[in-house]
A and B are shown apart, each in its own frame.
Chain A
Amino acid sequence: MSNIPELEQILSDIRTFDEILGYARPAPAELVLRGRITKDMIEEISRVKGEPDWMLRLRLRMLELFEKLPMPKWVNVAAEIDLEALAHYVKPTVSKAKSWDEVPKEIREYYEKLGLPEIETRALLGLGAQLDSEIIYFNFKRKLEEKGVVMLPMEEAVRRYPDLVKRYFMKIFPPEHKFAALHGALWSGGVFVYVPPGVKIEQPLEAFFFISQEMENQLEHTLIVADKGSFIHFIEGCSAPRFSRFSFHDGMVELYAHENATIKFTTVQNWSRDIINFNNKRAVAEAGARVHWIEGSIGSRASFTYPSTVLKGEGASTEIVGITTAKGRYWKENGAKAIHLAPNTSSKIINKSISADGGVSVYRGLVYVAQGARNAKSTVSCDALLLDRESKNITIPHDQVFEPTAVVTHEATASRISEEKLFYLQSRGFGEDEAKSLVVLGFVDDITKELPFEYAVILRRVLELEFGKYGKVG
């Protein structure tokens, strides 16, 4: 991979991915709101952000919902999360920069270690980087502006395009449980994108989220609206150093693909082992639109992610690809939901997971087909690779099909790197570690191929690091 030498260098010098960022060095913050979630706290956040009234009212409605709605009962770490102990708003002491040179060195380093500025130059048309609760770096290429694309930090979009934002914000994902409502009440940061009709953005845009301290709650909101016949690929990445305690992440992504638009949304989740990661991700696809989710769930101590698509218009389609690694005593849920509301809609869910050292990967999914969604088609395939006997995969598919002409199929496989496979590869000259990384990389090969080159490199390297040096097969 000689054409990204610096990135390759960074990646080849480390032995485990967690080493890149090491232990936490909290970024200086000028305002920290910690403790009980009250009307006062929310008013303070809204005031600091200089928000219009409608957004404050939305937040307060969400607070009411938060108090009423149940905990998401399937989240098995919910009891551990003492919301009152968390800092729900952490405003860093840096102002927003348009160039990396303007970002103070000790903060820039976080992102440089992850190769972000370099990736931006090579592969991205726009990038917003968030530190704790606020976007601290934001830049995009002129080309986008010329095409009429709007890309803004979420707060700025709220101020400058209220009518546009209002139409979608928390309407694609109206809260059904406490964590979604909590997000609505406290959201901070994230990126807004609007793509005008027929505009195709040939290179991806990215938002990157970084948590610098423990006992923090990060709640960025990403909203992408793709108008008729447009195309966009948006990437979100995230990372954090190691903490002695944990931090919580409760982000939301809302996507709206109008008629015949295509949205591809790729997540490369690389939280450290001390993040509890909860996600609210939902898309709406109008007639002929296409939504393609790729959820790369690499890091975190526990993750609960269910990219969902509501296939609202005739002929809309979605592909929801999940790739999960669970190495160590971690719990990683990476599910999917496809809601078929119109005829001739189709969904394809592909979920792959690798578990090792007692890790648990979970696919929790829903395929819903409403009556009248004639000839709806859905295929779900889940493949789990287990590297030892302590590790587990749990597959919880759920179908609710109310349309007789719908066809919904499921496939699930679980495999191991058996001693026979290992010996065969060893007899072909590969050491045990090499043999394992060949199997692991091969297992996810079809998925890494869908990622932009730089991300494919990162993902492959992470997998090599995580599973190549993996101990004896049980």
Chain B
Amino acid sequence: MLEVVDLHVEIDGKEILRGINLTVKNGEIVLVVGPNGSGKSTLFQTIAGNPKYVVTRGDIRLDGESILELPPEERFAKGIGVVFQAPVAIPEVRFSVLLQAMVNKKEGRKLTDPAPQIIAEARKAAAELGLSPSVVERPLYVGFSGGEFKRSEVLQLALTKPRYALIDEPDSGLDIDGIAAVGKVIDRLVSGGTGALVSTHYARIINFVRPNRVIVMANGAVIHEGGSDVVRRIEEVGYRQFFREMGIEVEEAKVE
């Protein structure tokens, strides 16, 4: 179980998350929704271990043990795989080299050992995700379209099958076929026992993945929890109206 307990996070001395609580169990999907700037990406970055995001209070636990002191690579080794909303381009590293190294690392081989099988698998997975198989030969995310890097990030999950998949906005920048393809990968991972935390803006993702729970964030806090109907209502009336209906006060200035 992945638990986030009363998590407070600062960036450059400014408090962004103000006491987040949530849990993700194996084989379940938890959806996180919230307006722009509500802190979803901050939550994902913090769980991944980005040192710029400073935890001032609270805890993140994996199977009951705190992972706050662990560097990002050890969190990954424990089974936390994160898809970032906007990953950095690394022109020096070819996508295939990254995939190969990830698998070599997991299996205790030298990072640069050739692993042709993984490349073949990657090409297949790429095709399933609607990517050209030749995408694996490209330098990491250089000149990738929004849809391409999203699919490529999800491709990494498909290959590495983490115990917890944290996916920040899998649907932004993707067309409807893309969302369907990504949804299928998430579904498959979850039926294999992966716990998924997925953030989104759009209701349409629930046509492709069935969340066990939906968490609504605003201003760095969880302000509501419910089922898929929450997402549909937000899609219909917008966040502002939804918050009003729920009797929740949200400082306007914070909503971008």
A71 near B: Cβ within 8 Å?
Answer: no
B236 near A: Cβ within 8 Å?
Answer: no
Indicate if the CB atoms of A420 and B88 lie closer than 8 Å: yes
Indicate if the CB atoms of B90 and A424 lie closer than 8 Å: yes
**Residues on the B chain within 8 Å of A427, using CB:** 48-50, 72-73, 75-76, 82, 84
Q: How far is the CB of B68 from chain A (nearest CB, A)?
A: 15
Indicate if the CB atoms of B72 and A423 lie closer than 8 Å: yes
Query: What is the bound-complex CA distance between A443 and B73, given in angstroms?
Result: 22
Indicate if the CB atoms of A439 and B90 lie closer than 8 Å: yes
Most buried by A among B50, B82, B84, B93: B93
Q: How far is the CB of B98 from chain A (nearest CB, A)?
A: 7
B156's partner among A418, A428, A430 (CB-CB below 8 A) is: A428
A97 near B: Cβ within 8 Å?
Answer: no
Digitize B166-197: 1 where CB-to-A-CB distance is under 8 Å, 0 elsewhere: 00000000000000000000000000000000
Query: What is the bound-complex CA distance between A445 and B82, given in angstroms?
Result: 27
Query: What is the bound-complex CA distance between A431 and B73, given in angstroms?
Result: 6
**Residues on the A chain within 8 Å of B143, using CB:** none
- For chain A residues 430-467, which have a beta carbon within 8 Å of chain B? 430-432, 434, 437-443, 445, 460
Q: How many A-B residue pairs have CB under 8 A?
A: 80
A385 near B: Cβ within 8 Å?
Answer: yes
A interface residues, tally (CB under 8 Å): 26
A238 near B: Cβ within 8 Å?
Answer: no
**Residues on the B chain within 8 Å of A428, using CB:** 73, 76, 98, 102, 156
Segment at the A interface, from B5-13, B24-32, B105-113, B248-256: B105-113
- For chain B residues 83-116, which have a beta carbon within 8 Å of chain A? 84, 87-88, 90-94, 97-98, 101-102, 105-106, 111-112
Most buried by A among B51, B92, B139: B92
A395 near B: Cβ within 8 Å?
Answer: no
**Residues on the A chain within 8 Å of B72, using CB:** 423, 426-427
Q: How far is the CB of B12 from chain A (nearest CB, A)?
A: 14
B227 near A: Cβ within 8 Å?
Answer: no
**Residues on the A chain within 8 Å of B75, using CB:** 427
Digitize A276-319: 1 where CB-to-B-CB distance is under 8 Å, 0 elsewhere: 00000000000000000000000000000000000000000000
A415 near B: Cβ within 8 Å?
Answer: yes
Query: What is the bound-complex CA distance between A208 and B94, given in angstroms?
Result: 34
Indicate if the CB atoms of A429 and B106 lie closer than 8 Å: yes
B237 near A: Cβ within 8 Å?
Answer: no
Indicate if the CB atoms of A439 and B156 lie closer than 8 Å: no
* B75 nearest CB neighbor, chain A only: A427
Digitize B35-79: 1 where CB-to-A-CB distance is under 8 Å, 0 elsewhere: 000000000000011111000000000000000000111011100
Question: Known contacts being A439-B92, A442-B92, is A429 close to B102, with CB within 8 Å?
Answer: yes
A425 near B: Cβ within 8 Å?
Answer: yes
Indicate if the CB atoms of B93 and A438 lie closer than 8 Å: yes
Indicate if the CB atoms of B105 and A424 lie closer than 8 Å: no
B101's partner among A424, A430, A432 (CB-CB below 8 A) is: A430
Indicate if the CB atoms of A460 and B112 lie closer than 8 Å: yes
Q: How far is the CB of A441 from chain B (nearest CB, A)?
A: 7
Question: Known contacts being A421-B90, A429-B76, is A442 close to B97, with CB within 8 Å?
Answer: yes
Indicate if the CB atoms of A438 and B111 lie closer than 8 Å: yes
**Residues on the B chain within 8 Å of A419, using CB:** 51-52
Indicate if the CB atoms of B76 and A424 lie closer than 8 Å: no
B71's partner among A385, A415, A426, A437 (CB-CB below 8 A) is: A426
Indicate if the CB atoms of B111 and A437 lie closer than 8 Å: yes
Query: What is the bound-complex CA distance between A418 and B92, given in angstroms?
Result: 12
**Residues on the B chain within 8 Å of A434, using CB:** 73, 101, 105, 111
A423's partner among B50, B77, B98, B101 (CB-CB below 8 A) is: B50
Q: How far is the CB of A454 from chain B (nearest CB, A)?
A: 15
Indicate if the CB atoms of B51 and A423 lie closer than 8 Å: yes
**Residues on the A chain within 8 Å of B112, using CB:** 441, 460
B105's partner among A421, A430, A437, A441 (CB-CB below 8 A) is: A430
Question: Known contacts being A423-B51, A427-B48, A427-B49, is A418 close to B73, with CB within 8 Å?
Answer: no
Indicate if the CB atoms of A424 and B88 lie closer than 8 Å: yes
B73's partner among A415, A429, A440, A441 (CB-CB below 8 A) is: A429
* B97 nearest CB neighbor, chain A only: A442
**Residues on the B chain within 8 Å of A420, using CB:** 88
Query: What is the bound-complex CA distance between A420 and B48, given in angstroms?
Result: 13
Q: How far is the CB of B242 from chain A (nearest CB, A)?
A: 32
**Residues on the B chain within 8 Å of A442, using CB:** 90, 92-94, 97, 139
Q: How far is the CB of A184 from chain B (nearest CB, A)?
A: 42
Query: What is the bound-complex CA distance between A33 and B91, given in angstroms?
Result: 52
A439's partner among B73, B87, B93 (CB-CB below 8 A) is: B93
Query: What is the bound-complex CA distance between A423 and B53, given in angstroms?
Result: 12
Q: How far is the CB of A458 from chain B (nearest CB, A)?
A: 14
Question: Known contacts being A438-B97, A438-B101, A442-B94, is A426 close to B84, with CB within 8 Å?
Answer: no
Query: What is the bound-complex CA distance between A437 and B77, given in angstroms?
Result: 19
Query: What is the bound-complex CA distance between A434 and B73, given in angstroms?
Result: 10
Indicate if the CB atoms of B91 and A415 lie closer than 8 Å: yes
* B114 nearest CB neighbor, chain A only: A1
* A461 nearest CB neighbor, chain B only: B112
Query: What is the bound-complex CA distance between A432 and B72, given in angstroms?
Result: 10
**Residues on the A chain within 8 Å of B76, using CB:** 426-429
Q: How far is the CB of A444 from chain B (nearest CB, A)?
A: 9
Q: How far is the CB of A474 from chain B (nearest CB, A)?
A: 14
Most buried by B among A418, A430, A432: A430
* B72 nearest CB neighbor, chain A only: A426
**Residues on the A chain within 8 Å of B111, using CB:** 430, 434, 437-438
Indicate if the CB atoms of B156 and A425 lie closer than 8 Å: no
**Residues on the B chain within 8 Å of A425, using CB:** 90, 93, 98
Q: How far is the CB of A232 from chain B (nearest CB, A)?
A: 30
Q: What are 19 residue pairs bridging A and B, where the CB atoms are less than 8 Å apart in the complex? A: A415-B91, A415-B92, A418-B88, A420-B88, A423-B49, A424-B88, A425-B90, A426-B49, A427-B50, A427-B72, A428-B73, A430-B111, A438-B97, A438-B111, A440-B92, A442-B93, A442-B97, A443-B92, A460-B112
Q: Assuming A429-B77, A440-B92, A442-B90, what are 17 further A-B pairs, CB within 8 angstroms?
A: A418-B88, A419-B52, A424-B84, A426-B49, A426-B73, A427-B48, A427-B49, A427-B73, A428-B98, A428-B156, A430-B73, A430-B101, A438-B93, A438-B101, A439-B93, A442-B97, A445-B94
**What are the nearest 3 A-B pairs in CB distance?**
A442-B92, A426-B72, A429-B76
